[in-house]
Amino acid sequence: MKLLLGQTLTFGENPFEAPAEVAAHHETRGAVAIRGGLIADLGTADDLRARYPKAEIADYGEALISPGFIDAHAHYPQTAIIASWGKRLIDWLNTYTFPEEARLVDAAYAHDIAGRYFDLTLANGTTTTTSFCTIHKTSVDAYFDEAQKRGIRALGGKTCMDRNAPKNLMDTAQSAYDDSKALLEKWHRVDRLSYVITPRFAPTSTPEQLAVLGALWGENPTCLMQTHISEQVEEIDWVADLFPKARDYLDVYDGFGLTGPGALLGHAIHLTPRERAAIRERDMSLVHCPTSNTFIGSGLFDMAGLAQDGHRIGLATDTGGGSSFSMLRTMAAAYEVAQLSGHALHPAQLWYLATMGSARALRLDDKIGTLTPGSEADLTIIDLASTPAISQRAAGAETFWEALFPTIMMGDDRAIRDVWVGGKLRV
Ligand code: GUN
Ligand code: ZN
pLDDT digits (tens, 9 = 90+) for 222-239: 999 999 999 999 999 999
Q: Please indicate whether residue 227, judged by its CB atom, sits closer than 6 Å to ligand 1.
A: no
| CA 317 / ligand 1 centre spacing (Å) | 12
Q: Does the beta carbon of 153 sit less than 6 angstroms from any atom of ligand 1?
A: no
- Domains of the chain plus CATH, in order, are 2-68+370-425 (2.30.40.10), 69-361 (3.20.20.140)
Look at the pTM and tell me if it is higher than 0.95. Answer: yes
pLDDT at 65 over 90: yes
**Ligand 1 touching residue 16 (CB < 6 A):** no
Cβ atoms of 33 and 1 closer than 8 Å: yes
pLDDT digit string, tens, across residues 381-401: 999 999 999 999 999 999 999
Distance 296 CA to ligand 2 centre (A): 11
Which one of 231, 252, 287, 323 would you pick to mutate in the ligand 1 pocket, going by the greatest count of ligand atoms within 8 A of its CB? 231
Rounded Cα distance, 154 and 318, in Å: 15
Give the model's confidence band at 376: pLDDT under 50 very low, under 70 low, under 90 confident, else very high: very high
Ligand 1 contact via 318 beta carbon (within 6 Å): yes
Q: Tell me the average pLDDT across 13-24.
A: 98
**What does the pLDDT read at residue 427?**
83
SS3 content of the chain, % helix, strand, coil (to 5): 45, 25, 30
pLDDT surpasses 90 at 347: yes
Task: Place 248 in a pLDDT band, splitting at 50, 70 and 90.
Answer: very high
**Looking at ligand 1, which residue's alpha carbon is closest to its atom 9?**
321
Q: Which residue has a Cα nearest atom 1 of ligand 1?
A: 228
- Gap between the Cα atoms of 267 and 51, Å rounded: 46
Give distance in angstroms: CA of 229 to centre of ligand 1.
Answer: 9
Give the per-residue pLDDT at 316.
99
233/242 Cα distance (integer angstroms): 14
How far apart (Å, rounded) are the C-alpha atoms in residues 293 and 197?
24
Average pLDDT rounded to a whole number, residues 265-274 = 98
* pLDDT at 390 (0 to 100): 98
